[in-house]
Amino acid sequence: MAGRDENPFTAPLEPGGAPRDGGGAGGPDVRDRPDAARELPASFGLATSTFVVVASMVGTGVLTTSGFTVFFVGSNAWMLALWVVGAVIAACGALTLAELAAAIPRSGGDYVFLYEAYGPLAAFLSGWVSFLIGFGAPIAASAFAAGEYLLRPFDLDGPTGLLARRGLATALILLFGHIHGRSRSGSVNVQGVSTVLKFGLLAALAVAGLAAGWGRWENLADAPPVDSIDRPLLLAALSSLVYVYYAYTGWNGAAYLAGEVADPRRTMPRAIFVGTGLVVVLYLAMNTFYALALTPGDLRGVVARAEEAGDPDPLNALTPIAEIASARLFGARVASGLSIVIGLTLLASLSAFILTGPRVAYAMAGAGQFPAIAGRLSGPSRTPTAATAMQIAWSLVLLWTGSFEGIVVYAGVGLALFSMLTISAVYALRIRRPDLPRPFRTPGYPVVPAVYLASTLALTVATCLERRGAALASLASIALGVPFYYGWRWSSNRRAGR
């Protein structure tokens, strides 16, 4: 730890777990850092922390990606199995993250853990990836999915339909950017209403779908014979895990608020466990509903009809999987109404990403690691308008240059790689900081973190082989952060006369 830059967001921990003051070599004094000088009140309890985990996980993924998985593996049974595998991977990650969150109970999440384990470059890259991939891609994907569901009743096909979906998605992004960039009270009201609406609808839809599809168990008995399983099928299954992984992403959400949680060493592990468990149950229920309603042949037919209509991205036709399944079980009229309601609930995810994403750029700018304009606050409510505009601009680039499926793969690969780096921090800190208090230790260590790392690496490699374009774009985005970091650091030191 000695001789490197100090964490510009939070003061490092002494062996006893308390923050220490003072600047590192070439680093600013801790009192000048944006978050060290003003401590946030520890006002969040177990219920709020659990809600943050659930709200961070449940979003676009479960309402959009299951159709892609079934299409590529050709089996509902395998699709459900992949969601179970995804749940195991998420549980291993959550168990490991609980140790990190309890040992370093400060707001900042992955940034804090990576700084303590690997230093400023890794921490900077986590913020860089959050801006480009962790928030930029989900904003574009959420808006695209909302547009797909909201326009579904109008039967807009082909290039015209794609243009309409992107146009509506753009309008939604700009609308929420205006709301969150202008007023804090507007942000709170919009986020609260939209989140409650989303939870209520998904729970009701899962129960209704299971009840309506009860008895159609032949749809689940479509696993391919063992002797027909070959390398291409296994590779397709592994690469399809990226969709499942994207849907489960968010189990680390509460770690970003650790510094504002009462008794975080006890509360954080419980919130992560309970929140992840609730989401796993909901996801398996939703995907069983889809499987009872639709066969792989049905989904292949949806893609074929999109191809005949001249859709430049026919896989996009599988995006509104919840509406397609609802039409089969409840009828077209009910499904059309549900489609609009689902599209409205997706606005909760879009709103959350646009609200929280710019805070990464704002904090990095305050730490001197991003253009200073992103650190400016505007208006009476003191909102990060410039950072919001920068985040929105990048999201619109992704929206208009990629397909929905491509955006999901782009996000999944980048998030998987950096989640691996974060989870590996548990090994680094056990070696480098054996004196760090650990009120919670990962059960099954070192096997549990290793399972997460091996599984995530396997799905990432398979995705890079099967979806090369989007995967390489994600890798290139991460790599660009390295010269940006050193270039910006050199420029900052030169301006400071160092």
Predicted confidence band of residue 349 (pLDDT cuts 50, 70, 90): confident
Q: Calculate the dihedral angle through the C-alpha atoms of 26, 28, 30, 35, rounding to the nearest 10 degrees.
A: -130
Contacts of residue 153, defined as CB under 8 A and 6 or more positions apart, other chains included, come to 336, 339, 340
The total of structural domains in the chain comes to: 1
For residue 288, give both structure tokens. 């069983």
**Is residue 35 situated within a structural domain?**
no
**Nearest CA-CA partner of 1 in 18, 21, 25:** 25
CB atoms within 10 A of CB 436: 16
Question: Which DSSP category does 135 fall into?
Answer: I
Is residue 255 scored above 80 in pLDDT?
no
What is the structure's pLDDT at 42? Answer: 57
Mean pLDDT of 44-56: 73
Ranges of H-type helices in 331-437: 332-366, 385-401, 404-432
Q: Check: pTM over 0.75? Answer yes or no.
A: yes
User: Which CATH number goes with the domain that contains 250?
Assistant: 1.20.1740.10
**pLDDT higher at 253 or 166:** 166
Q: Is the pLDDT of residue 254 over 70?
A: no
Cα→Cα distances 83→73, 95, 242, 396, Å: 13, 18, 11, 30
Which is higher by pLDDT, 298 or 57? Answer: 298
Mean pLDDT for the chain?
82
Domain-located, residue 22? no
- Predicted local distance difference test score (pLDDT) of residue 232: 87
Strand partners, 261: 44
354 and 392 Cβ atoms separated by less than 8 Å: yes
Q: Which domain holds residue 222?
A: 41-495
In a domain, 17, yes or no: no
How many Cα neighbours within 13 Å face the side chain of 87? 20
Is the residue at 488 inside a domain? yes
Least confident of 81-95, 188-202, 453-467: 188-202
Give the Cα separation of 137 and 153 in Å (integer). Answer: 26
- Domain assignment present for 31: no
* 475 within some domain: yes
Residue at 229 is within a domain: yes
Answer whether residue 456 shows pLDDT above 70.
yes
DSSP per-residue letters across 80-119: HHHHHHHHHHHHHHHHHHHHHHHHS--TTTHHHHHHHHH-
Tell me, yes or no, whether 106 lies in a domain: yes
Note whether 126 and 418 are within 8 A (CB): yes
Peptide bond into 446 cis (omega under 30): yes
Write out pLDDT tens, residues 378-405.
766 677 888 899 999 999 999 999 999 9
